[in-house]
Structure 1
Amino acid sequence: MSSAPRNPPFRAEHIGSLLRPEELVKKRYAVADKSASPDELVPVEQKAIKEVVKLQQDCGIHSITNGEYSRHQFWGTFFETLEGMEEVNLREGGYDQSIFRAYAPDVKSFMHAKTVPNSVTVATGKIKHTGTSSFLPEFEYLKTLVPKDQWSNIKLTLTSPSWYHFRYGPKKAYVDGVYQSDEEYFNDVAQAYQKELQILYDAGLRNGQVDDPNLAYFCSEAMLEGWKNDKENFQTSDEQLDAYIKFYNACLKRPDDFHMGIHLCRGNYIGGNHFSEGAYDRIAAKLFNNLDVSTYYLEYDTPRAGGFEPLKSLPKNKNVVLGVVTSKFPKLEDHKEMVERVYKAADYVAEGSGQSREEALQRLCVSPQCGFASHAEGNPLGYEDMRKKLQLVRGVADTVWPGQP
């Protein structure tokens, strides 16, 4: 078994999205309502990205992102730009809302907030990558802002493969007649992902992070109960989790020097609201041992995620980034307490692998638990609050791993 990769991930990490300046938010909405042209957005967006790159550098963060400033929501527009995928919410006359799983945590939250859950994108034809990447422009612009020898540090956040599958009921992620089974749908989505990753790799990307709320839902008692009571389901929740892991592994096939991580998100919606709760115990063994990623970005800012005990299942060739600092609210955590939490987590990793605490620490890093602005409006804290949070993460890392980036 090979050792866990490093740099990336770095000892001080963040999840990707950062608070957007008001000017950028207003301009993007103006473009959306056609009161401004798309050309007007470009200079505002690029100025904001330059400033947020500097913020990260000033805070000692090495996994540089564009703060997701080129997107309205964290998942971007990958699925929407694939051949065969259609935003049916844009159709005149609407669509049948019964396609959704009412017990899916994000659907419940979105429905409560605004009747329909944002983009409603399904396969209305066979899915195929067009050869044009929706993520590539973000990476190419970031390359102009950092030295060439740091391009491999740039982190691009990527859409969850199951984002437009889990939220819909069985076989409702695609219209009748397009696919006969999930396996057929998964196969075409996987080929599209492999094409996307190859385009990004060829451009120089070496650090990817999948943002994935869906796998964490399998920790939720409420979701699991809803799944069990759904007579349309043709698989148990355990079987669906296994199918997703196999699907993700097909999507994420990549060269050996392409670091890939996955963020297990519990929801990061308007007002700092989360979607789901439940400890990682239910999925940890499968997640850590069967999913082909190098790094797991886990949320540990509140008791809703349970304890560190599941980290005993972490293999020696994989990393965990401990999200012990919250991005949801402005109150700043205590430095000493955060350091102690990292050591406590390391003790569980050590117990599971028969190592010393020092050896286990080599597979751990620290970060905020989620992004600061998964959606355009962001979480209820200020820009300076965010800066202090990132500085705290850096400070904790410097205490636990002195001299390491």
Structure 2
Amino acid sequence: MATSAPHNPPFRAEHVGSLLRPPELLKARAENEAGRLSAAELRKLEDDFIRKVVAFQEDVGLQSITDGEYRRGVFYTDFVCRGLGGASVYYEIDRMFFIDDKGSKIAVPLLKIHDRLRWQAPVHADEFKFTQSLTKRTVKMTLPSPTSVYSVDGGNVNREVYPDLALLRADVVDAYRKELPALAAAGCRYVQIDEVPIAMYCDPKRREQISRSGIDPNKVLFDVFPNLINDALADRPKSIHVAMHLCRGNNQSGWLTEGGYDPVAEMLFNQINVDSYLMEYDTERAGTFEPLRFVPKNKSVVLGIVSSKLPQLESKDALKRRIDQAAKYIDLDQLGLSPQCGFASTAPGNKLTPDQQKAKLQLVVEVAREVWG
């Protein structure tokens, strides 16, 4: 086991993956969905804009590069709906919703599983290869966490197809055990899994909600989730660094849940077999840095203390003070810096301008350079 935390990847200056889509790309996607633009024409436009967004990231000074998630509508649904089939997206706003800084409610995109989920061919390998052909830097591929695909209560699952949720679990695990080697074979060495349910269960209201449905939230948190993730990652090639991004919801500058990492920290950092973590810490909703005391010496944590939701630019001094606060609980050498989430986890994107997005990313790079060299 390594005795020191890796930083190549994750890098001292990171970003979570998605970047604001150009209006022309959003329009083209709408035209494609309406049947007025072919898939080939849309793909060509995506390629052109990905070339530009890769150059943008290099210009800003980032070392880990993504395609901006420009080929996706929602950060996690493409892997399932397009890649595995058997699922579609529906929108919920009554039982669950995002809230923006003005208190407005925004619908949540959720999965409806109506058929078997089957991995039949690499889902994102070609996308990785295209992005890697554009840069000499490290390309990061983002995948939803297995917990975002699996259904704890089966409420969104066709029970004729999956009468036993153990079968759904097996299909989910199988998909990751095949996709990760496919990405490695394509040359990928950095994968980020985006973990929402564990962060959601940090919220006492969510735990109470799941309890009312007759499910033990502690069993889900400390047995179902970690074992599912570890089983899904069991066959991953040693050449791939797996990072986990913890997310409390990110849609058009709205958030979904709140609560510090205290209830899950020891399990999160010591039972789940990932190499590093990108942690949301942009507001008081995420609690204190104290849970970082559970991070083992061979793992690294990227502090998401720059907001990707709000346009105001943080001050360098304020960010450095927060890094110093975190370093009271974890060695400074184990830390990096990033925005708390992507800038466009869903296609419409957060309520920032491209210039504000650029300023945020430049700030991350500059502060990381000043703190760690």
Cα 1:56–1:88, aligned 2, differ >3 Å: closer, same or farther? Answer: closer
Distance in 2 separating the partners of 1:72 and 1:156: 16
Please state how far the C-alpha of 1:52 moved relative to its aligned partner.
Answer: 1.0
Distance 2:203 2:268 in 1: 15
Aligned partner of 1:397 among 325, 348, 368: 368
Change (3 A) 1:204 1:178: same
Count of residues paired in the alignment: 366
Q: Is the 8 A contact 1:53 1:64 kept in 2?
A: yes
Given candidates 123, 132, 148, the residue that maps to 1:134 is 123
Q: Structure 1 residue aligned with 2:135, among 143, 146, 160?
A: 146
Matched, 1:307 2:288: yes
* Distance in 2, Cα, partners of 1:101 & 1:20: 24
Equivalent residue for 1:160, pick from 131, 142, 145: 145
C-alpha distance in structure 1 between counterparts of 2:304 and 2:114, whole Å: 34
In the alignment, is the contact (CA less than 8 A) between 2:77 and 2:111 conserved in 1?
Answer: no
- 1:248 paired with 2:255, answer no
> What secondary structure sits across from 1:118 in the alignment?
strand
2:155 aligned with 1:172: yes
After TM superposition, what 4+ stretches of structure 1 lie above 6 angstroms from structure 2? none
CA distance in 2, matches of 1:297, 1:68: 17
SS in 1 for 2:24: helix
1:368 pairs, out of 329, 335, 339, with: 339
Q: Which residue of 2 aligns with 1:355?
A: none
RMSD of the alignment, in Å?
A: 2.2
Amino acid at match of 2:145: S
SS at 2:239's partner residue?
coil
Question: Deviations along 1:191-214, whole A, 9 cap, x unmatched?
Answer: 111101111111111000011211
In structure 2, give the amino acid aligned to 1:280.
Y
- Displacement, 1:182? 3.1
- Cα offsets for 1:284-332 (capped at 9, x unmatched): 1100000110111111111000010000010111111000000011110
SS state of the match for residue 12, structure 2? coil
Structure 1 residues 186 and 105 mapped into 2: Cα distance closer, same or farther (>3 Å)?
farther
Amino acid at match of 1:118: P
Q: Secondary structure at the match of 2:279?
A: strand
Q: Specify which of 203, 208, 222 is matched with residue 220 of structure 1.
A: 203
AA matched with 2:282 = D
Distance 1:225 1:370 in 2: 26
Query: C-alpha displacement at 1:189, in angstroms?
Result: 1.1
CA distances 1:360-405 after superposition (whole Å, capped 9, x unpaired): 1121100000000111111111001011100100111011101xxx
Larger Rg: 1
**d(CA) in 2 for partners of 1:103 and 1:309?**
31
SS at 1:239's partner residue?
helix
Which of 211, 218, 227 aligns to 1:238? It is 218
Partner of 1:269: 251
Uncovered stretches (5+) of structure 2, i.e. residues with no partner = 100-104
Q: Deviations over 1:262-290 (max 9, x none)?
A: 111111112x1100000000101100000
Farther-moved stretch of structure 1 (44-53 vs 77-86): 77-86
Contact 1:104 1:223 in 2 (8 A): no
2:118 is the counterpart of 1:118: no
Q: Which structure 2 residues correspond to residues 313-392 of structure 1 after superposition, within 5 A?
A: 313-349=294-330, 360-392=331-363
Contact kept? 2:149, 2:172, Cα under 8 Å: no
Aligned mates of 2:257, 2:153 — CA distance in 1:
21
Query: Shift in Å at residue 255 of structure 1?
Result: 1.9
The one-letter code matched in structure 2 to 1:248 is I
Query: Which residue matches 1:74?
Result: 75
Distance 1:59 1:29 in 2: 30
State whether structure 2 residue 201 is matched by structure 1 residue 210. Answer: no
